[in-house]
Amino acid sequence: MSTTAILPTISKRRRRADMLARGTLGFFTAIALVPLGLIIYYLLSKGLGAWSWDFFTTDPTGSFLGTQGGIKSAILGTLEMVALATIIAVPIGIGVAIYLVEFGQTSRFAAIVRYFVDVMTGVPSIVFGLFIYTTLVVAGTGGSSFAGWKGSLALALLMLPVITRSGEVVLQLVPQSLREAALALGTPRWVVTMKVVVRTAIPGLVTGSLLAVARAMGETAPLLFTVAVVNGTTFNLNERMNSLPIQIFQDVGQANDQLVERAWGAALTLVVLILILTLVARLISRRSQFS
C-alpha cells in the first residue's frame, strides 16, 4: 500500500474546540451546583444552631427586647392552612383532570379549560393573593378581614392548576383497553372512571398532589394579603394565623441577631418539611412502578 497515512488527521483546531466545549459544559454544570451547595451549607450551619426544644414549642413573643421565642405558631399555622388548602384543591383539581381526560378529549369547551388551567400555572402567586384580598378580605367576608381560611383559598388557587395538570398526565397514561374492558362488561361510565381509571392512577395522583402541597407550603406572597401576621397559636381558621414563610419574612427584616437566627432555623424547618413531602411523593411514584 502507499506510504501515506491510512487515516486522515483531524485538525488540532477541531480537537481543541471539542475539548473546550466539553470542558465548558462540565464547568457550567458544576457552577449550577454551587448555589445548591451554598444554600445547604448555610441552612445547616446557621439554622441547626437555632433548633432546640423551645424553638419548636414556644410561640414568637413579638417583643423588641428579651427572648424572642420559637416558631410553634408558625409551624402549626402552616400545617393548618396547607391542610385546608389541600382539602379544597385536591378534589376539585382531580375532578377537573378527570373531566378533561374522560369527557373532554374533543370538545372545544374542554380545550378552553385546558388552556386556562395552563395559564393558571404561570400566574404569580402574589396575584392569587391579590385575588382573594380584593374579593374576600376587603369585604370582610365571614366576619373578619384577614383569616386563615382565606389564606388557604389563595393557596388552593395556587395548587389547583398543578394538581390538574399532573393529574391529567397520569390519567391519560391509564390504557384505553382497561376502560374498554370494563365498559364492555356493562359497567356504568362513572363507575369505570372512579373505580378503574382513577384507582389505577392513584399513585400518580398522590404524587402530583404531594408536590403541589410541597409548593404551597413554601409560599409567602399569597399569605401576606390574606392572613397577615400574628404571633400566637390559634386553631381558629377564621382568625389571623402565623405561618412559616411569613414568620421568616418578618424576621429577616429585623436588625436583631436572635431574630435572624430564628429566621435561619425556621428556614431550615421549612426546607426539611418540603423535602420530606417531596421524598414521600417520589417514593410513592417509584413504588407504583414496581408493583
State which of positions 128-147 bind other proteins (CB under 8 A). Answer: 130-131, 134-135
Q: How far is CA 287 from the centre of its chain?
A: 21
Residue type at 36 in one-letter notation = L
CA end-to-end distance (rounded Å), the chain: 62
For other proteins, the binding residues in 80-139 under the rule CB under 8 A are: 92, 95-96, 98-100, 102-104, 109-110, 112-113, 116-127, 130-131, 134-135
All cell numbers assigned to 84: 385546608
All cell numbers assigned to 35: 448555589
Closest to other proteins by CB, 174 vs 237, is: 174
Scan for cell 390559634, then name that residue: 234
Distance of closest approach, residue 80 Cβ to other proteins, in angstroms? 18
DSSP annotation of 186: T
Distance of closest approach, residue 244 Cβ to other proteins, in angstroms? 8
Which bin fits 73, alpha (ψ -120 to 50), beta or left (φ > 0)? alpha
Q: In the set 50, 89, 157, 241, which binds other proteins (CB under 8 A)?
A: 157
Closest to other proteins by CB, 53 vs 290, is: 290
Interaction between residue 55 and other proteins (CB under 8 A): no
Q: Are 284 and 206 in contact (CB under 8 A)?
A: yes
| CA dist 163 → 69, 95, 123 (Å) | 36, 10, 15
For other proteins, the binding residues in 207-236 under the rule CB under 8 A are: 207-208, 211-212, 214-215, 217-221, 224-225
Closest to other proteins by CB, 83 vs 173, is: 173
Q: In the set 155, 198, 245, 262, which binds other proteins (CB under 8 A)?
A: 245
What is the dihedral angle through the alpha carbons of 80, 84, 87, 93, rounded to the nearest 10 degrees? -120
Site string for other proteins, 180-209 (x = CB under 8 A): -xx--xxxxxxxxx-xx-------x--xx-
Closest to other proteins by CB, 38 vs 83, is: 38
Q: Is 27 helix (H, G, I), strand (E, B) or coil?
A: helix
Closest to other proteins by CB, 187 vs 256, is: 187
